[in-house]
């Protein structure tokens, strides 16, 4: 176990950073580790919180910047560090041939966290890992809340990600890897959101609005921002990890609830329903949303209500 306490400015909750390491079994075995962050009262109900591939251990805003789930994780949200003991993790992004969801689950289960029994909240890629944790350690998991995720990837989502990976690989070969990540992220944004949102925002936008420059400028900004933060090898590793997932959800014994969006193109509601049908204690709540897969990030009121309604 390795831990370092970081005392933020008065308005920030104290956090402890931990290194969650384990020995990976099998022929591709070896030592793997992920950096985690604990915040909230030590005697509070423990909750592991995992997000999409862009998420990390900075769940709650601190002096270095905003958390990845504003409006949900933080003061007044369903994941309030004044009420819960929260663990968030940076995903493992270096393993041969790539980190599996099983690897990510083992990091969350490492002894360094000090959490013996806990609930899990997982969204998108983190939702798949949440299911894997619950399947691997049923005696440690109290409850699972999964948002915009299913037990295995949809073939269309895999097709989109395959094109993104090849874009990055071509850019690496051409000597401009960041450009590949930029373009891959632009394509990804079109799968996260909906036709309806783009139509509303970018058909004759108000010249004074943030969308005045049009959809291409929007995608260029999102791509450049992501490429500035994400290494090409990390992008490829986590993309492959997503497409290799196939969780044995029949092994999950904890009560499990799913949150789905009717407009989600990446994880269609039918895939979530199929996952629920394989489980013994699971149910799903579906909402209508303009934001597709990103409903878990954009629909903060609905997400908070979903998480707060847990028994």
Q: Quick one: pLDDT at residue 243? A: 98
Q: What is the pTM of this model?
A: 0.94
- Residue 293 falls in the annotated catalytic set: yes
**pLDDT (tens digit, 9 = 90+) per residue, 264-295?**
999 999 999 999 999 999 999 999 999 999 99
Tens of pLDDT along 66-75?
Answer: 999 999 999 9
Q: Which of 62, 80, 182, 264 is catalytic?
A: 264
Domain chopping of the chain, boundaries: 3-151+246-308, 155-241
pLDDT, mean over the chain: 94
Q: Which of 100, 124, 239, 263 is catalytic?
A: 124
* pLDDT tops 60 at residue 8: no
Of 100, 243, 293, 294, catalytic: 293
At 153 the pLDDT is 98
Q: Please state which CATH number belongs to domain 155-241.
A: 1.10.1740.110
Same fold flag, 3-151+246-308 and 155-241: no
Topology of 3-151+246-308 in CATH? Rossmann fold (3.40.50)
Residue 146 structure tokens: 């999964």
Annotation says 262 is catalytic: no
Active site annotation includes 124: yes
Q: How much is the pLDDT for 11? A: 57
């Amino acid at each position: 176990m390795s831990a370092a306490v970081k005392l933020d400015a008065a308005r920030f909750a104290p956090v402890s950073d931990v290194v969650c390491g384990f020995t990976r079994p099998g022929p591709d075995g070896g030592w793997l580790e992920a950096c985690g962050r604990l915040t909230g009262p030590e005697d509070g109900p423990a909750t592991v919180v995992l997000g999409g591939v862009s998420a990390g251990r900075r769940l709650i805003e601190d002096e270095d910047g905003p958390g990845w789930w504003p409006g949900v994780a933080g003061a007044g949200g369903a994941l309030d560090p004044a009420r819960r003991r929260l663990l968030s993790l940076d995903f493992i992004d270096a393993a041969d041939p790539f980190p599996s969801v099983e690897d990510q689950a083992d990091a969350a289960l490492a002894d360094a966290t000090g959490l013996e029994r806990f609930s899990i909240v997982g969204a998108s890629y983190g939702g798949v890992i949440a299911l894997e944790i619950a399947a691997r350690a049923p005696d440690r998991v109290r409850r699972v809340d999964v948002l915009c995720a299913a037990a295995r990837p949809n073939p269309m989502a895999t097709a989109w990600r395959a094109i993104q990976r090849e874009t990055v690989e071509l850019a690496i070969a051409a000597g401009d890897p960041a450009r590949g990540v930029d373009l891959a992220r632009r394509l990804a944004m079109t799968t996260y959101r909906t036709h309806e949102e783009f139509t509303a925002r970018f058909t004759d936008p108000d010249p004074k609005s943030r969308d005045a420059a049009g959809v291409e400028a929007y995608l260029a900004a999102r791509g450049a921002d992501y490429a500035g933060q994400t290494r090409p090898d990390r992008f490829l590793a986590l993309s492959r990890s997503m497409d290799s997932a196939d969780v044995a959800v029949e092994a999950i014994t904890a009560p499990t609830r799913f949150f789905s969006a009717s407009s989600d193109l990446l994880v269609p509601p039918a895939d979530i329903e199929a996952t629920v049908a394989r489980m013994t204690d699971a149910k799903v709540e579906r909402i209508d949303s303009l934001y597709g897969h990103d409903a878990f990030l954009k629909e903060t009121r609905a997400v908070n209500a979903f998480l707060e309604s847990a028994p």
